[in-house]
Amino acid sequence: MEIKHIQDHLMSVEEGYVRCFLIEGESAALVIDGGVEAGLREMVEKQTSKPLTFLLTHSDPDHTAACGEFEEILVHPAEMARLAQKRKTQSRFIAVQEGDRLDFEPYHFEVVLIPGHTPGSIALWEKEKRFLISGDSVTNATTFMFGEGRNLRAYLYSLRKLAAIADQLDVIYGSHGPVEVPPSRIGELIALGEQVERGEIQGVPAERFAGDIQEYRSEDAAIYYPAQDKE
C-alpha cells in the first residue's frame, strides 16, 4: 500500500491492481473506496490527523476491504443491500444521492449517479477543477460487465450522461490501470458498448474467467461481457 500525490491535497492509495483516493481538506478529509487490503485507515491517519469521511463509489469486493475500519460509510442506497451481504460490518450506512455536494475545501464534489457497472455506482465531479473520480466505470483497464448487478444498457446510459459533461473535464481519475484517464475514453467506451450491444464485434475468450466470458476491445477501450452466442 503506497500513497502517491496526484495534485494538491489529492492523493491515490495504490494497492497493486486497485486504488483508493484521499482528499485532505482544510478541516476534514475524504477517503474514497476501501481497496483489497486491511489497514487503509491506519495508512491514511499517518498522512492526516483530520476527521475522516469514508465513501464508496460502489460495493464490489475489491473496493470494500476497509469498510469495517470506519464507523460510517457513505454509499448510494442501491448498493447497500449488496454491501451488507458481501461485507459483514457494524458500520452505519449513510445514503448519498445524485446531485449531493461533498465539500472538502479546496475541493467541492458533486455526486453523479452512473449505474451499469453496479446499480448504485457513483462518480465525484469537481466542476471548478475540471476532473472526475470515476470508480470502475471509466478507467484504463477492462471494465467488468458480467455477473451480478451488471447492466450494459444502463452502463451506456450512464456513459452518455458523462459524455454530456466531458468537455468540462481535463482528466478522469480511475480505480484501475494508470490513474489518469483521458475524457475521450467516455466516447470510446460508448462506441464499444454499442457494438457489443448490437453484436457487431467479435470478442476473445478471457482465460482468467471460467465460463463464457469474453473480452471485447477497441483500440483504447475494453469490456468483459458474456459471449454473444451464449446468452
Beta bridge partners of 225: 214
pLDDT in tens, 195-226: 999 999 999 999 888 778 999 999 999 999 99
Tell me the pTM.
0.95
Beta bridge partners of 19: 14
Using an 8 Å Cβ cutoff, are 190 and 156 in contact?
yes
First to last CA, the chain: 39
Using an 8 Å Cβ cutoff, are 224 and 145 in contact?
yes
pLDDT-derived band at 229 (thresholds 50, 70, 90) equals low
pLDDT in tens, 114-156: 999 999 999 999 999 999 999 999 999 999 999 999 999 999 9
